[in-house]
Amino acid sequence: MTEKQLRDLMGGMTLEEKVGQLVQCGAGQFIQNSMEITGPEGEMLPAEELNRVMGSVLTFEDASQAKALQDKHLAADRNKIPLLLMLDVIHGLRTTYPIPLAMGCSFDDDLMTECADMARRESAACGVHVTFNPMVDTARDPRWGRILETNSEEPLVNARMGAALVRATQGNDLSDPENVACCVKHFAGYGAPEAGRDYNTVDMSERQLRETYLPAYKACLDAGARLIMPSFNALNGIPSVANKWLMNRVLRDEWGFRGVVISDFNAVGELVAHGMAENLKEAARLAMEAGCDIDMMQNAYYLHLKDLIAEGAVSEEMLDAAVLRVLRLKNELGLFENPYHGADEEKEKAVYLCPAHREIARRAAEESAVLLKNEGILPLSRTLKKIALIGPFARERHLVGFWSRPGAWKDAVTIPEGIGAILPDCELVMEDGCGAEIGDADGSGIERAVAAAREAEAVILALGEPEGDSGEGRSRAELTLPGLQTELARRVIAANPRTAVVLFNGRPLVLTELEKVAPAILEMWYPGTEAGSACARLLFGLANPCGKLSAGMPRSVGQCPLPYNRMNTGRPKPGPDGVPVPFSSCYLDMGNLPLYSFGHGLSYTTFEYEDLKLSGDTMQAGGSLQAVVTVKNTGEKAGKEVVQLYMRDPVASVVRPVQQLIDYRKISLAPGETAQVAFTVTEAQLRFWNFDCECVSEPGMFELSTGYADHLKLTRSFRLI
Ligand code: NOJ
């Protein structure tokens, strides 16, 4: 349709019909649905009444449901305006790839593209028009259960991976039924709730917000994302969905965003609970004024917008502008011509869990695993005849993590299945040892586990957090392995020191006690459908670990939040970490550094870095220079290395971080092979938000280093003139 046709269509709509375009309901109101919804359904109106006018629906199961929903609606809507069908496809639809935090550990934008591409194919076949992805909330506090949904504690990684996902999902032409529109979320600062408690308030300086939290959303919008979702939290006192500064000034005016804003689940209604609005009607007005186009899962708009317009409290122009944005999106998706978009039952059968998709998921699981520690235990020999596979995750199939489809876990490969495919003749003795639930104090299985460990040639100890313990509404105040798992590890490792621990969890955990006893720890996160295959291949050396932590692992929950790019202080702690220095910025009872830093990750081979060279010792404003480092594979196995480039601005008009990642590249090296890795460093990368909230660079010295957080090496300086 042309813009004129869209406007004419809108011109012929009643007020109620226009308001309907801004209403989003759960599919479960109209069809039988087993999908989980993540909030209260609110006061729902009769389904027939809604179906006639509503503009969009969320959370449906498959192509046949997508078609049924569309048919039912189009039969009732006199204007024949197709529904927008939206779904949370966060890390795959039927073929699940690793959780986003794990994907961040791959530091591999191309791999992200491949995974997003696979999710796009499956989503399109399912009939999805809009996915509520990417989530790019920078998060630095693992107590927050939704840290699992973000790629990293580092905004640069979130920006690059988020943008890669948007490009792969949307393609060049949204009317192509193979493409799906992206909704970036949660705008803004949702990843910084006080004390890591989900939905909690966020209070931070504008400078901090702009420097650390906003860039990733902006990068996704620059990559073309058509929708954005304001966050649940209050940001500096105003919930995002009603935050005019954030939504009108920053998003629409400064960034020029022309797409659709959709509230989070019942977030408009929650303005009442926030104490911002006296009732739902006022909530509807506040959200409209802040430019929120669609009201997800509440009837604030449906019940009150008409009256608000009649009373002159909301202008009809404002309503029209929002409706037009929604209609334009439908038009761009080609829905007026093809309301099913890509929904196709045959295609679903062809693409869901197809071998090519499983292969991508397996590779992603391998590349996002992080070898935290290895004292000569891994890889395990493929000649082993008897292995004890111990722990609550030993036979677990729930390895896909939050935001996977109900039942997706059933398609996941378990560890014994993965090992069986590689070593069919190896005897596996399996014992749970204990449970993994918070507060589970049943140690009655530990003795059996110890006995099994003693009699085996080697032990694989699979520990972690139950799938449901990280994700939305899943904050934790303790970050140790739940239940008796650490005790199980102590006992099993004492019985057989040839033990490799593998971990399945959705957040950085406090592994301080485990680290003291475990000779090898492989962090698998929730790896998705190919969990067991990837895990087995890594354990037995058919794949070489290359993941690096995308968020540091604290020594204690008391250190949180613990960003690697912490700010300088006036009393920095000199000397070795862990030794308190009187009257310096330190703890009396613990070091300042995490147990495992951001960017840490081992391999079965070793890499040496030498000779970081800069193309010059000065940089002009608006200019750039090259930083080249030589990396050599000094071990005996082929391996991949994530080469990380850090920057420090030692003197500036505002306090700067002690280290900041400014670029990364993943390379592959054969044994003995050497590569020269070149980074272009531009003046734009040296910029920061100054006291007056202007993004500037300041002349002076800068330092560039390789290595990883808190373990920088080969530092070189240059001057910006
Ligand atoms: C609530 C979550 O915060 C959001 O991320 C999600 O997209 C919506 N529910 C829809 O399921």
Residues 640/546, Cβ–Cβ less than 8 Å = yes
> Distance between CA atoms of 473 and 403, rounded to whole angstroms?
12
Residue type, 140: R
Longest CA–CA span in the chain (Å) reads: 79
What residue segments make up the domains of the chain, in order of their start? 22-347, 370-546, 607-720
According to CATH, the topology of domain 22-347 is TIM Barrel (3.20.20)
Predicted pLDDT at 35 = 75
Share of the chain above pLDDT 90, in %: 95
CA-nearest of 513, 515, 533, 516 to 524 is 533
Q: Which CATH number fits domain 607-720: 2.60.40.10, 1.10.3300.10, 1.10.275.10, 3.30.470.10?
A: 2.60.40.10
Distance from residue 295's CA to the centre of ligand 1 (Å): 12
Q: Is residue 42 over pLDDT 60? A: no
Q: For atom 3 of ligand 1, which residue has the closest CA?
A: 264
For residue 114, the tally of other CB atoms under 10 A from its CB is 19
Please state the CATH superfamily assignment of the domain spanning residues 370-546 in this structure.
Glycoside hydrolase family 3 C-terminal domain (3.40.50.1700)
Q: Is residue 3 over pLDDT 80? A: yes
- Ligand 1 first shell, C-beta below 6 A: 38, 58, 88, 132, 185, 264-265, 472
Pairing mode, if any, of strands 688-689 and 607-614?
Answer: unpaired
Distance from residue 639's CA to the centre of ligand 1 (Å): 38
| 478: confidence class by pLDDT, cuts 50, 70, 90 | very high
Catalogue the active-site residues.
264
Q: For atom 4 of ligand 1, which residue has the closest CA?
A: 264
Q: Is residue 40 over pLDDT 80? A: no
Share of the chain above pLDDT 70, in %: 99
The CA–CA distances, whole Å, from 690 to 205, 393, 623, 654, 693 equal: 12, 48, 20, 6, 5
Summarised one tens digit per residue, pLDDT across range 43-74 is 567 888 899 999 999 999 999 999 999 999 99
Distance from residue 567's CA to the centre of ligand 1 (Å): 32
> Distance between CA atoms of 569 and 254, rounded to whole angstroms?
32
Predicted pLDDT at 577 = 83
Pairing mode, if any, of strands 520-523 and 499-504?
Answer: parallel
For residue 41, the tally of other CB atoms under 10 A from its CB is 14
Distance from residue 48's CA to the centre of ligand 1 (Å): 25
CA-nearest of 265, 260, 136, 250 to 190 is 136
Predicted pLDDT at 32 = 83
The CA–CA distances, whole Å, from 468 to 96, 438, 471, 528 equal: 16, 11, 7, 14
Summarised one tens digit per residue, pLDDT across range 351-400 is 999 999 999 999 999 999 999 999 999 999 999 999 999 999 999 999 99
Summarised one tens digit per residue, pLDDT across range 220-235 is 999 999 999 999 999 9
Q: Is residue 405 over pLDDT 70? A: yes
Predicted pLDDT at 552 = 98
Predicted pLDDT at 41 = 61
Summarised one tens digit per residue, pLDDT across range 406-418 is 899 999 999 999 9
Pocket test for ligand 1, best of 185, 262, 266 (most atoms within 8 A of CB): 185
Q: For atom 9 of ligand 1, which residue has the closest CA?
A: 265
Predicted pLDDT at 43 = 59
Predicted pLDDT at 34 = 76
58 in helix, strand or coil? strand
Summarised one tens digit per residue, pLDDT across range 425-476 is 999 999 999 999 999 999 999 999 999 999 999 999 999 999 999 999 999 9
Summarised one tens digit per residue, pLDDT across range 554-598 is 999 999 999 999 999 999 887 778 788 889 999 999 999 999 999
| 160: confidence class by pLDDT, cuts 50, 70, 90 | very high
Summarised one tens digit per residue, pLDDT across range 427-436 is 999 999 999 9
Predicted pLDDT at 48 = 87
Helix (H) or strand (E) holding 630, with range, is strand 624-633
Please, what is the average pLDDT of the chain? 97
**Is the overall model pTM greater than 0.95, yes or no?**
yes
> Distance between CA atoms of 647 and 659, rounded to whole angstroms?
6
Predicted pLDDT at 578 = 79
Please report the sign of the dihedral spanned by the C-alpha atoms of residue 670, residue 676, residue 682, residue 688.
positive
Phi, psi angle pair for 263, to nearest 5° = -65, 160
